Amino acid sequence: MEYKDIQDSLTTLARLTAELEDQYIENEGEVTPEAEALEAQKDALAYLLQNEGIDMLGRWLKSKEDEVKTWKAEKAAADRRMKSAQNTVDFIKAKITEIMMATGVDKAKGNFYAFSQYVSEKSAVDYDGIVQEWGPSVYKALQEIGVPEWLTVEFKTTTTALKEAGEDKFVNVTATDTVRFTKPRRTE
């Protein structure tokens, strides 16, 4: 049995059910040989759907669940590889920065590659500070309007929004000495 067969069987089952109901209404509930034949067809179709149909859909569902698990595992493996590669990139840049600092140069150029020092700044939202300052007021306001205690609230914002609002105290900036990497130009 395939998906199309299931769809066809469901359509036929609906048609048989309607025909059977019409016959019972016409015959005032009397069970006629025609009604018995329709009941037998309906029962056979229901049996087929409940057994082969369910098994087919179960196999299909299992294969799709397995596919999802496989994709998740592959995504996790790719994420691990990307993180490892990024850690190696960061390590190499740190080593180049160390060499440049130890030799007292801001720019270094080999035969093929060039580097220049700079300070990389990364901004992050200080959610702990936001919750500490605004949490009590928000939770009190929620209780006052009848929001149940089992409902949790999550604070979300961006460093850009905080800076635009003049709330720089909730922005943590991390500065790291690093290098810019100039690769050889392609020839086309």
Instruction: At 178, give phi and psi (nearest 5°).
Output: -150, -170
Shared domain for 113 and 68, answered yes or no, is: no
Structure token pair of residue 2: 């395939």
Q: Quick one: which of 97, 99, 91, 89 has its CA closest to 118?
A: 97
95 located within any domain: no
Q: How far apart are CA 140 and CA 134, in angstroms?
A: 10
Closest by alpha carbon to 140, among 130, 129, 128, 149?
Answer: 149
- The domain total for the chain is 2
Are residues 111 and 51 part of one domain? no
CA 129: distance to chain centroid? 28
Q: What DSSP designation does 32 have? A: -
Q: Per the domain annotation, does 37 fall within a domain?
A: yes
User: Do 71 and 128 share a domain, yes or no?
Assistant: no
In this prediction, residue 184 carries a pLDDT of: 78
- Domain assignment present for residue 98? The answer is no
Q: Which domain holds residue 44?
A: 3-84
At 30-50, the pLDDT tens digits run 888 998 999 999 999 999 999
Q: Is the pLDDT of residue 87 over 80?
A: yes
> In this structure, are 78 and 137 located in the same domain?
no
Asked if residue 153 is part of any domain, the answer here is: yes
Are 135 and 69 members of one domain? Answer: no
120 lies in some domain: yes
The reply to whether 177 and 121 lie within a common domain is: yes
Q: Which tokens go with 33?
A: 């040989």
pLDDT tens per residue across span 119-164: 999 999 999 999 999 999 999 999 999 999 899 889 999 999 999 9
Tokens read off for 84: 């490892």
Task: Name the nearest CA neighbour of 155 among 168, 136, 173.
Answer: 136
